[in-house]
Amino acid sequence: MNEMIMQLSPEWILLVGIALVLVGEILLNKDSSRFVLGFISILTVIASGLFVLLQDREVINLFSGSFISDTTIRSIKILLIVGTLLVLILSFAEKVSAKGEYYLLLLAALLGAMTLVSSSELISLFVSLELLSLSSYVLVGMQRDRMISSEAAWKYVVYGGASSAFLLYGMSFFYGLTGTTKLVGMSDSLSIAYHNEHGLLLYLGLVLLFIGIGFKIAAVPFHMWAPDVYQGAPTTVTAFLAVVSKIAGFVFALRLLSGLFPSDGLKPIVHMVVVPALLVIAMLSMIVGNVVALKQSNLKRLLAYSSIGHAGYMLVAVISLLLSKEKEAFFSLYYYFVAYLLASAGAFAILQVIAKERSPDQKMLSGLYKRSPWLAFCLTVFLLSLAGIPFTAGFIGKFTILISAFGNSLFWLAGTMLLTTVISYYYYFRLIRQMYWQDDDKVSLDKIHWSTGIVIAITLIGTFLFGIMPSFVLQSLSAWIA
């Protein structure tokens, strides 16, 4: 029992933190500051991360294989923890942090994401995903005095509920075909069912799974919710959805697809159904996301469509990983996760400074270089990283994915990735031009909150570090995961 508690210590710490925040919210007066709750939340996330690192190379297998943790899984957990930590720090500068339940929901969402990464069984996967999703629904609607926030939360709940229904229905087909909910060993049973002329049920289950997964990662044509939710949610919540929730969604997709189809008997399905379907979704996401972003003036909506395009890039790495199952393919995906996390968190931190509680519009960037050269420089770096310009983390991330795609003969996919990357230059550089070459009457800017400054500094340093020293980072990651 004691050994199990130690092995689950990162998750237990989050549970304790949630309990402390809940008790603190009950004890504090209505008008009291919630700073202490935010501080407790940050300590909780840091402690959870430390215990993840202390597990080192230990392989954890609990509950008859339903909960698994190894170095690869822990590397993903560290990303989720870092992303949530940046959001928590950024929250001190936002009005929504005055509510204690805000911190409770962020910790609950992180707990759902971490258990999702370690789950190797359909029921625990779904429960973990719903813990993350339900917490996110409430977080989006935290600003009840803003109609756009309530509308975004309502749309998110409706679309999210429908996608969860599709997902659960699809899982029921796989359970019916195999008689088990555990991913380990399910592949062989699926192979037998497929060769016993139950292929139609298998295909139907796959279609339902793709619908659910497509929503969770905001990939075309299941992306409808993203622009409205990104625009209506508080900036810190938007950052959480863009970073932590998206990474967790991709890990969920990988966990399902790699767990269901490792058997040699199912290779025809992988090559004739799974990979072609992902190819179409990836290409549509890259094209639609980047093309529609060209016409956006609201910065949150622009970044939402940009994130849809980035989902397409990440799917390229997922396809390469499914085809080759080589560590290089995983490293390319992981590196892109890191680059996207740093650039997105930094960009949303700057939007928080510029727009405050208003909806950020492109015109707000006019003359930013004159008002605050430092902010203009930082936002330029983050936009260049998202665009994939050399000497930034984003360039290395896209380059490694392209190499992986060419190595698996995904030439059409690699070509689409290159073309849409060039298209993205237009709207990223349009924002940069707005900052440096468009005049504006505003000559002053509110003082940057200390918490926002910390997040901007961390993400800026990380973007340069991962862009200038990629070999060192990749070798370190390879040595840890090997």
The C-alpha angle with vertex 167 and arms to 165 and 170, in degrees rounded to 5, equals: 110
What's the pLDDT at 201? 84
More confident residue, 181 or 264: 181
pLDDT at 112 over 90: yes
Instruction: For residue 69, give the H/E element and its range.
Output: strand 67-69
Structurally, the chain folds into a number of domains equal to 1
Mean pLDDT over residues 293-320, rounded? Answer: 91
Q: 425: which 2 tokens? A: 């230059």
What's the pLDDT at 469? 78
Instruction: For residue 147, give the H/E element and its range.
Output: helix 147-178
Q: Which domain holds residue 244?
A: 2-481
Mean pLDDT over residues 323-344, rounded? Answer: 84
pTM of the predicted model, to two decimals?
A: 0.92
What residues pair up with 69 in beta bridges, in sequence order? 60
Instruction: Give 134's contacts (C-beta < 8 A, 6+ positions apart).
Output: none
More confident residue, 460 or 66: 460
What residues pair up with 119 in beta bridges, in sequence order? 67
What's the pLDDT at 352? 86
> Shortest CA distance to 464 belongs to which of 412, 405, 364, 390?
390
Give CA 314 to chain center in angstroms: 11
Most confident of 136-150, 393-407, 461-475: 393-407
Q: Could you tell me how many residues make up the chain?
A: 482
Q: 246: which 2 tokens? A: 């998206």
What's the pLDDT at 369? 84
Give me the chain's average pLDDT, please: 85
Q: 233: which 2 tokens? A: 């949610």
CA separation for the pair 279, 353 (Å, rounded):
38
Q: 171: which 2 tokens? A: 């899982």
Number of H helices, E strands in the chain: 22, 2
Distances (CA, A) of 297 to 91, 304, 305, 416, 434: 25, 12, 12, 25, 12
